[in-house]
Structure 1
Amino acid sequence: MSTISLPQRSRIVSPTSIVQLEYPPQAPLPKLQSATDTTSTWTRFVLLSDTHAGIFPVPDGDVLLHSGDLTRRGTFRDLSRTMEWLYALPHPVKIIIAGNRDFGLDREWYNENWKHTGYHEKPEPPEPISELLTGPRAVAANIIYLRDEEYKFRVQPEGHEWSVYGSPLSPNFRSRVRAFGYDELDAEESLTVLHITSSTSPKLTQGRDAPALAAHLTRLRPRLHVFGHIHEARGAYVHLWAGGEDPRSQNASQIGDTEGDNAEEETVPAGEQTVFVNASNWPAGPNATRSGEPVTVGGPGVQPVVVDLLD
């Protein structure tokens, strides 16, 4: 599959979606309200991934989605730090999945491999770890933890019903120590929040993708597909399904910007579309430095991605 390389944009705008990749800290553009159709509303999704126990400012929104790697060492201490941060955020819906670094959440894998992680002197019990994600404090903080399952919700009682499918799985790469790995996958559900995406968005995965998922995304065509895992490929693009072409990156250039093109905004025409987002907040590759200085987790170039979708 061929790919294209376009300059990194701060925003991608279409009639039914607005993606903000970079904005003043805690000050993204406000949600639009339709001037011609007062019955139409926008839902704001704030996207995180690969935070690795880092803590940083997160803009407000209707829905928070975290697509995995909540921890760096896979320990209870790391997860507790992350969950205390997420508990305190004001979003009315907070949906999270695990990732390959969240060792203790994949119990079958962990029981066999905890010695090989390099961070665990003895195995940690599962109950305190599960309590952080599904216990009373998590429930009170509007946390929804998904593991290969679907969740339906409305932001407003009479509003649009959203359906989210979350999976922590990612394909096994060589022999690296990793939780939630697989060799083959047959998925029949709607794929919306994953730790790694399919080969339908190669420039957002740097070629380390999950080909078995590609056909399902093409068939299901979700409004929003969020993932992470490949830190150096953080970015987004909006794919129009008309014309029969496979999705490919029209944003998140990881090779080099187009000379002389300094536009902040990419415009996408109307049509059936999917917003693909690699929401990694860990600085790497072209986002590792800014003006010669190292970027911290969640900092410039790796901020939470803000996506507004027209209901």
Structure 2
Amino acid sequence: MSSETETGAPADTGNAASECGLTSVLRTPTAVVHLEYDAAAPPPAPGAGWTRFVCVSDTHTRAVRVPPGDVLLHGGDLTHSGKAAEFEGVLAWLGALPHAAKIIIAGNHDLSLDGHDGWYDRNWRRWHESAKKQDVARIRELLQGPKAAQAGIVYLEDRKYEFEAKENGRMWSIYGSPWSPWFMDWGFNYERGEEADQRVAAFPKADILLTHGPPHEILDKTIHEEHVGCESLLARLPSLRPRLHLFGHIHEDHGAIIKQWSGPGDGSGGDTQAGQTVFVNAAQWPMGPRSRGPEGKRVRFGEAPFQPVIVDLLDEV
């Protein structure tokens, strides 16, 4: 097992799956990750003392086929441009899924949800002029109203949440944030550097970290071979050490990596002092070299090798 680097970044155990030809299953004593599997007969959970998290992101209005599990996590870009009609379809899809808890965040494409500093009020015509300005209050009611709550849907926007995945089970904590580094002034963008530092400094410890964008050099490589993840988020991770960090945004680097931590954390103790973190880029929009099959046929949303990622975590570590 390799050790933590001098910068405090997690060390790669070699358990990685984001390129063609690499294993579709990652295993450690406390985590099992499935990237490709038979959608009609998903692999069973390791045992009774485990919780199954099903991870998706960047569905862009598509109702992808999702395997059953205890918890569904969505890393944002629920829609393509944040229109109310798009959200209605997404919420109908989510509401019909069997997972007891469905925890979601927005992404840069969920434009109408970005109300910080009047951003949507200033920018809506760039995308919605022909469709008119969207009713943000109605959209938030869809996401956070009683119908969503009854369906087990929890929308997080820079907020921590605690929940039981199973009746009389352990309590899990999750923090969700929709922000990602600046890209063409889309929704929930921050500037790299000082603004990014301020954003991620507010992230609390939690068992699960849910962000739209990836950390720098972790499943963040574009088709142009550029690492575009957030440097500030990477620097914050040694203090946070979540057991699972789910994101999307960079469609072409869909995959998972399990990284080990060494040395003490920040001394705060608790279960969030994880010895390892499972990093998952669960983007469902096929892009890059793996977006076409052996015969050149385009891979559909949510199909291998861009399936929802199954993450089984041991309840007590």
* Structural RMSD (CA): 2.3
Shift of 1:120: 4.5
The equivalent of 2:50 in structure 1 is: 42
Query: What is the letter of the counterpart of residue 210 of structure 2?
Result: V
* Contact 1:117 1:177 survives alignment (8 Å): no
1:306 aligns with 2:310: yes
* Contact 1:290 1:300 survives alignment (8 Å): no
Of residues 287, 290, 294, the one that matches 2:298 is 294
The equivalent of 2:287 in structure 1 is: 284
1:152 aligns with 2:166: no
Alpha-carbon distance in 1 for matches of 2:220, 2:121:
35
The equivalent of 1:65 in structure 2 is: 73
Distance 1:203 1:100, change over 3 A: closer
1:113-152 to structure 2, matched below 5 A, reads: 113-117=123-127, 120-152=130-162
Q: Deviations over 1:281-308 (max 9, x none)?
A: 0000123111221011111211100000
The equivalent of 1:259 in structure 2 is: none
Distance 1:133 1:61, change over 3 A: same
Query: What is the letter of the counterpart of residue 193 of structure 1?
Result: L
Alpha-carbon distance in 2 for matches of 1:88, 1:124:
25
Distance 1:45 1:208, change over 3 A: same
* Contact 2:62 2:90 survives alignment (8 Å): yes
The unaligned stretches of length 5 or more in structure 2 are 1-8, 265-273
Of residues 82, 105, 118, the one that matches 1:74 is 82
Shift of 1:13: 0.8
Identity of paired residues, percent?
Answer: 45
Question: SS at the partner of 2:124?
Answer: helix
Question: SS at the partner of 1:294?
Answer: coil
Alpha-carbon distance in 2 for matches of 1:282, 1:20:
18
- Normalising to structure 2: TM-score of the pair? 0.82
* Contact 1:204 1:234 survives alignment (8 Å): no
Of residues 208, 215, 220, the one that matches 1:198 is 215
- Normalising to structure 1: TM-score of the pair? 0.83
The equivalent of 1:209 in structure 2 is: 229
The equivalent of 1:12 in structure 2 is: 26
Alpha-carbon distance in 1 for matches of 2:170, 2:142:
29
Alpha-carbon distance in 2 for matches of 1:136, 1:158:
24
* 4+ residue runs over 6 A deviation: 1-6
